[in-house]
Every structure is written in structure tokens, then in C-alpha cells.
Amino acid sequence: MAKPKKKTTRKFIGKMMICSREWELWEDPKQGGSSFSHGDPMNRKRRTIVLGTVDNDPRYTAEMLIHEVVEIILSTDEKRYRPNWQQAGDHSRYLFVFDHDYLQGVGPNLLTALLTSGMFELKINERPLPKMRKVL
């Protein structure tokens, strides 16, 4: 006998690009927190980010998206490590190791991901930017 499909509360938000890879963005109004999955190793087309919106707080939702995108960037570039003493399933103990030169490249990847999510918009003020002082 086939198992009946579970009814999901998730709602599709859209697609976004992270490190030149397409990710699906989902909302779950019954979940708190957020998560990401690289999907089935045989089917990498199912990369997903799920944002819990049980709190109905747009700022917190944006913070969760930024958290997940940064973690995806770092794990994609193999900057995330699980220490030997970490217990299985304990995601709070991951270590992230990178230098400042690597950090310079995170900004462009993060900005591209946020803008392609459709949840963020880049606005340039109408007034001129202040003149920057030259630092010697």
C-alpha cells in the first residue's frame, strides 16, 4: 500500500542564485527558524531554503535568509567544518574557517543572492555620495 502524501504548509516564494547555483526559496508558516538542504545527492536541482514565518516578523525572516545564504556560501566553498568532538545532528558546533581575502568575495555572492531572492531591493539615494578622504 502506498503511503498518502503529507500535506505541507510550505509556500513557494521563488528562486534565487547562490554561488552560481539556483536555489528554491520556501516559506513555512508553521515553522520557527530556518534551514537549507543541498537536496538529494543524485538530484542537485532540489536545493532549498525554508524560512519559518510562524512569528510573522519580516525583519527576523530577512535575518534568517541572510544567515542561511552566508552559511550556504561558506559550505559551498568548503569553509565549514565539523569538529571531531561534535555529536551527530549538532549543527550548533560547526566551525567556519577563512581569511580576510576570502571574506572579500563573500560580499558579491551575498548581494547577488539577496537581490535575486526578490525579498531585497537595492536603492541608490538621489543625493550625491559624500566625498571620501584619501587614506595614505
Cβ count near 42 (within 10 Å): 6
pLDDT classification of 39: cutoffs 50, 70, 90: confident
Alpha-carbon distance 26 to 21, whole Å? 16
Instruction: Look over the chain and give the mean of its residue pLDDT values, rounded to a whole number.
Output: 82
Alpha-carbon distance 31 to 50, whole Å? 9
Query: For the whole model, what pTM was predicted?
Result: 0.76
pLDDT digits (tens, 9 = 90+) for 107-121: 999 999 999 998 888
What is the grid cell recorded at 54?
510562524
Task: Spell out the domain ranges in the chain.
Answer: 11-83+94-117
Cα separation values, 105 from 15, 26, 31, 99, 109, Å:
22, 26, 32, 11, 7
